[in-house]
């Protein structure tokens, strides 16, 4: 199972919006509405930000939103804040035997 494709880096200024894409195939992203996004600060464990494409866990600001079109999912962060600077990973259910596939990660820099 190949990793999902994410841009290596994105950047934006405080208050702006950025979108991180996550491209897979019809066997993962395109085949299920089970894409999740994780934020990871250096040296820390990942934190769930969005699940099932567009749902937010309690406690996650509504500045974080998810969507999907075909084989590509997206995470949009609006009203960028300094604390949003982190690595972001997408993850998709891939059908068989509880398999999950992750993206390579995107480093978000808040300028």
Partner 1 sequence: EVQLVESGGGLVQPGGSLRLSCAASGFTFSSFVMHWVRQAPGKGLEYVSAISSNGGSTYYANSVKGRFTISRDNSKNTLFLQMDSLRAEDMAVYYCARVGNGGTYYDYWGQGTLITVSS
SS (H, E, C) the chain: CCCEECCCEEEECCCCCEEEEEECCCCCHHHCCCEEEEEECCCCCCEEEEECCCECCCCCCCCEEEEEECCEEEEEECCCCHHHCEEEEEEEECCHHHCEEEECCEEEEEC
Rank residues 42 and 82 by Cβ distance to partner 1 and give the closer one. 42
Rank residues 13 and 96 by Cβ distance to partner 1 and give the closer one. 96
Rank residues 1 and 67 by Cβ distance to partner 1 and give the closer one. 1
Q: How many residues bind partner 1 (CB under 8 A)?
A: 26
Binding region for partner 1 (CB under 8 A) out of 17-25, 59-67, 73-81, 86-94: 86-94
Name which of residues 43 to 82 contact partner 1 (CB under 8 A).
Answer: 44-48, 51-52, 57
Q: Which residues bind partner 1 (CB under 8 A)?
A: 1, 3, 32, 34, 36, 38, 44-48, 51-52, 57, 89, 91, 93, 97-105
């Amino acid at each position: 199972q190949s990793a999902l494709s994410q841009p290596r880096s994105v950047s934006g200024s405080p208050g702006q919006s950025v979108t991180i894409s996550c491209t897979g195939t019809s066997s993962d992203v395109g085949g299920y509405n089970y894409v999740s996004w994780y934020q990871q600060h250096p040296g820390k464990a990942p934190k769930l930000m969005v699940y099932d494409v567009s749902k937010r866990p309690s406690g996650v600001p509504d500045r974080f939103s998810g969507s999907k079109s075909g084989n590509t999912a997206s995470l949009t962060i609006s009203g960028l804040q300094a604390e949003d600077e982190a690595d972001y990973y997408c993850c998709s259910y891939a059908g068989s035997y509880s398999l999950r596939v992750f993206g390579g990660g995107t480093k978000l820099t808040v300028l």
